[in-house]
Amino acid sequence: MVERWYRNGVIYSLDVCLFQDSDGDGVGDLRGLMSRLDYLCRLGVDTVWLSPFHPSPRRDGGYDVTDHYSVDARLGSLGDFAELLDHADERGVRVMMDLVVNHTSDEHPWFQAARSRRDSPFRDWYVWSDTEPADRREGSVFPGVETETWTYDDQAEAWYRHRFYRFQPDLRAEHPAVRAEIRKIVSFWARLGVSGFRVDAAPFLISSSRGQDFGLLRDIQETASWQRRDAVVLAEANVEDHEVLEYFGHSDNRASRALMLFSFRLNQAVMLALARGDANPIATVLHELPDLPQNAQWATFLRNHDEVDLGRLGQDERDDVFAAFGPDPDMQLYGRGIRRRLVSMLDGDRRRMELAYSLQLTLPGTPVLRYGDEIGMGEDLTLPEREAIRTPMQWSDAKNAGFSRADALIRPVISTGPRGCAEINVARQRSDPHSLLTWFERILHTRRECEEIATGEHEVLDIGPPHVLVHVARGPRGVVLFAHNLSPEPCQVSVPPQTAEEEPPQNVVADGVYDSDVDLLSLRLNGYGFRWIRLADIPWS
């Protein structure tokens, strides 16, 4: 169904170069990813989102692109990518990719031509200033690491703008030729069979001298849809509530720009709630989030490939999350985030891990999981900045965690400590019916039985205890209730009847064993417990 695949699935985020090496050169590659597609299917994933796989010096994890129409030779070829799409399609798995067009690498031929002479046709593709900009030390995306947003280039004899690192000059997306090139890039990959594009740093991409150019998002979505009717644009935009609908567009109650948006505000509310053991931040955000157009969707996440961004929390709130999950300054980043994996933030507590992911999987939207979280991978804080959480996938306790047989790797495997590959790996958890991996496999497949989560209307119920979140999702096929206890202490809550159905409520999934007869008026929850309960189910006609 054209309107449903991105609303009712599970997205798995991975970096090809860190997932599986097939040729022994120490770098993950497309053929390695192909060999792991069955693993992803068994896990319950139906969409894979790939970090940039283009040619790149990889000074910023591949986000410093030098050719938007090709594949980094270390990862494979265009033929390998086409074969990956074929293999994924055979398994019912869609492939999304990063669209990084707000900047390029300074090694990109466009920038090399632009800096070579003022009359180059590529000169106006970038943002220049002949005089030293007054704001050259303001607005860095990476405060404390990159101190300037303008750099003087001796060859160009001018200053160029870079909101990210100085080796990533900003493209001027309002220029007609740049816009045309962006459409060509989207058309190229969509024609090959890519199902969606995660638009990197969308607010910076659409920023122009005349304000925010939301029409560019519409151009990208329309271009993708022309080549592949069901293609989706997922925008990375950590913006205020009043701006959200502008990213979707809302013509006749249908999204006309991006169809999906990461729910950063909900992510930060979940982090605050977990840190405080108080469900109110989540309840508040669910009340305040704007109603979306009927074909639009949130993308929910707990961890992504960057830091846990707490920038929109108040100072006291941010301090509480730092104290709970990143008390050491080395665990923090850019003054606003945490550079740890979730399992480390929760001190390896299995109950809290399951609670956190149950929360994510039941909140309105499409869940996005980061590779390795399904087995509880940790981080390597000896690596700089965000690289701490970008380590090779841990497949087994063999050499290099089964990631590669090479002696030298693109990045070191986590080999020591409680999260080391000898203890935390897929092979070990695959044979354990009580492992975190097994739990993920069960709950992701169970979520498919609850279509109401993704497409229904959500309502938070006021049941009293601040540490308990109870909400219901109502859809055309039925009603499901979700209860989560953010406290380590067991409790009992009273939930008013939500339907007039004569059939009794049915347990769907829970953190442990509860009575088979569900009594909503005295609903029990274990410490850090959760329950999914079907209240009404309309049979398919």
What's residue 104's pLDDT?
A: 98
What's residue 2's pLDDT?
A: 43
HSE-up of residue 15 (Cα within 13 Å, Cβ side): 21
Q: Residue 537 catalytic?
A: no
Dihedral of CA atoms 409, 411, 415, 418 in degrees, nearest 10, equals: -160
Let me know if domain 455-537 sits in CATH 1.10.357.10: no
pLDDT band at 242 (very low <50, low <70, confident <90, very high): confident
- Given a cut of 60, is residue 540 above it in pLDDT? no
Could you report the per-residue pLDDT of 380-409, keeping only the tens digit for each? 999 999 999 999 999 999 999 999 999 999
Single-letter residue type at 249: G
Rounded to whole angstroms, the Cα distance separating 389 from 386 reads 6
Cβ contacts of 117-120, under 8 Å, gap ≥ 24:
118/156
Tokens describing residue 149: 């947003």
Please name every residue paired with 401 in a beta bridge, in sequence order, or none if there are none: none
Interval 80-85 mean pLDDT: 98
Interval 435-461 mean pLDDT: 95
Q: Which residues contact 185 (CB under 8 A, 6 or more apart)?
A: 68, 69, 99, 101
The length of the chain in residues reads 541
Residue 140 CB neighbours (<10 A): 18
pTM equals: 0.96
Rounded to whole angstroms, the Cα distance separating 367 from 266 reads 12
Active-site annotation holder among 236, 278, 309, 511: 236
Active-site annotation holder among 29, 72, 98, 200: 200
Dihedral of CA atoms 383, 384, 387, 391 in degrees, nearest 10, equals: 0
Are 17 and 376 within 8 A, CB to CB? no
- For the chain, the domains span 1-100+366-448, 109-161, 455-537
What's residue 1's pLDDT?
A: 40
Q: Residue 15 catalytic?
A: no
What's residue 500's pLDDT?
A: 63
Domain range 109-161, CATH class: alpha beta
What's residue 503's pLDDT?
A: 76
Q: What is the mean pLDDT of the chain?
A: 95
HSE-up of residue 518 (Cα within 13 Å, Cβ side): 21
Buried b (16+ CB within 10 A) or exposed e, 480-501: bbbbbbbbeeebebebeebeee
What's residue 262's pLDDT?
A: 97
Rounded to whole angstroms, the Cα distance separating 474 from 366 reads 16
Percent of the chain at pLDDT exceeding 90: 92
Could you report the per-residue pLDDT of 311-366, keeping only the tens digit for each? 999 999 999 999 999 999 999 999 999 999 999 999 999 999 999 999 999 999 99
Single-letter residue type at 190: A
Could you report the per-residue pLDDT of 177-186, keeping only the tens digit for each? 999 999 999 9
What's residue 497's pLDDT?
A: 83
Could you report the per-residue pLDDT of 482-525, keeping only the tens digit for each? 999 999 999 999 998 876 666 789 999 999 999 989 999 999 99
- Given a cut of 60, is residue 541 above it in pLDDT? no
Let me know if domain 1-100+366-448 sits in CATH 3.20.20.80: yes
Cα→Cα distances 326→106, 323, 486, 527, Å? 34, 6, 19, 23
HSE-up of residue 379 (Cα within 13 Å, Cβ side): 30
What's residue 498's pLDDT?
A: 77
